[in-house]
Amino acid sequence: MRRFIAVAAAAAAMMVASPAFAQVKPVDALKKQFVAGQGVRIKETSRTWVDKQDYIGAVREGVAAFGPKGVVAAEGERTPVLGPALKKQFEAEVKRDPKAADLVALLTERTYMVSSGKHYYIHGGLFSRALPDDKFWLRGDGDPTFAIMGDQLVNVLEPATLKHLLATGKHTGPRYRGSLTFAELHKLSPSFRAQMITKPSGKIGKSRISWRLTLDARQLPQRLAIDWTMPLTKKATIKGTTETRYSDWGAEISVTTPAAESVISIDDLVDHILKPPTPIDEDYVAVPPSDDGTVQ
């Protein structure tokens, strides 16, 4: 009997020590990734509907760089993708006015983004046409995750947000699912608050975000899919879906912000755009150039 008890105790000890039986909490697993110089890679697709019309979507790819407390910087690129309804509208507009093709190209142009600390930087897309000739990046105030957030509303790289999802959702093995309102997410998530211009309230605040999260073998986020619907007007609604995949946890990630001389802030850009033209000199008299092209 003693020999049997000893064997059983040894077997139990082996089971506890074996990695296959180790229980790793996802939030703890995430925090262990918060090492300076390391990060995670992200790929994402999103779509948006206005009422039932597939309107516009986007494809994203980027990286997040970690520090001891979480994401400290990120960079990525986002390419808009026109849905059938919007594409049909633009094609009709181009037929009426060929010059509209330039606008379509501009709206679907790839945008590059970098975020670090309290600033974000954007290059390309609608912003690029308004910049002065010697500037290539627009700088604004934001969150370190700005370059990888926007289409994806839920940030599972935040320990508190991940903890809330796991605590409130149902799961089967590594697959979790649940929902929360815009107002709840605004209260919970710093990166979501940074995305929102105003605090969601009323019908928008009560609108729900359904989510489905899959963890990998190390209990780290592998796939996050969300869908949401909110009122756009009294008669129209807007619906969005986003699928984000996380890979290469622990990869060496380095994010470099643009050179200062190539950057203009949003405030300075507004001043540049609204700057009045040079006052007209009513005493000025135009003089034709001389034969060698000079003006007296």
Return d(Cα 255, Cα 252) in angstroms, integer.
Answer: 10
- Return the half-sphere exposure (C-beta side, CA atoms, 13 A cut-off) of residue 186: 15
% of the chain with per-residue pLDDT over 70: 84
pTM recorded for the entire structure: 0.81
111-116 β-sheet, strand order: 170-172, 175-181, 208-215, 221-231, 237-252, 38-50, 53-67, 70-82, 111-116, 119-123, 137-141, 263-265
Continuous H helices in the chain: 2-17, 26-31, 84-96, 100-107, 159-168, 182-188, 190-195, 202-206, 266-274
Query: Which whole number is the average pLDDT over 234-255?
Result: 95
Task: Report pLDDT digits (tens) over 59-104.
Answer: 999 999 999 999 999 999 999 998 888 888 888 888 888 877 777 7
Query: Which whole number is the average pLDDT over 33-51?
Result: 96
